[in-house]
Amino acid sequence: MEEDSAPPLPGGTDEAAILAEANGEAAAAIAAPLETEEGRTDDLPTLEGLVGRVPPGVRALLDELFRARFTGVKRAPEADLPAQTSK
């Protein structure tokens, strides 16, 4: 199969239309502000701005679920360690 015969991938407006059709008109309103011209970055929000849009309860839950915690340190027996080879 030739690469040129493949249909073009859907763009942002196509995706917004599909979301609007599947989830109602609210999905189109959410997707519309995310569309920007290709190569333009001046309209992109800052990371702090995006984090500020996440509700505090959701941020706390994500922090609880995904933050690594050290609960203790234990010495491993040498028998459990892989053999060290010297060059």
Per-10-residue mean pLDDT of the chain, 87 residues long, equals 67 75 60 55 80 91 87 87 72
Inter-residue contact 38 to 44 (CB < 8 Å): no
Q: What pLDDT, on the 0 to 100 scale, is given for residue 57? A: 93
Domain limits of the chain? 11-66
Q: What pLDDT, on the 0 to 100 scale, is given for residue 25? A: 59
Best CA proximity match to 62, nearest among 70, 72, 54, 53:
54
Q: What pLDDT, on the 0 to 100 scale, is given for residue 56? A: 92
Q: What pLDDT, on the 0 to 100 scale, is given for residue 41? A: 57
Residues contacting residue 35 through CB under 8 Å, at least 6 positions apart:
12, 13, 16
Inter-residue contact 19 to 28 (CB < 8 Å): yes
Residues contacting residue 34 through CB under 8 Å, at least 6 positions apart:
12
Q: What pLDDT, on the 0 to 100 scale, is given for residue 81? A: 87
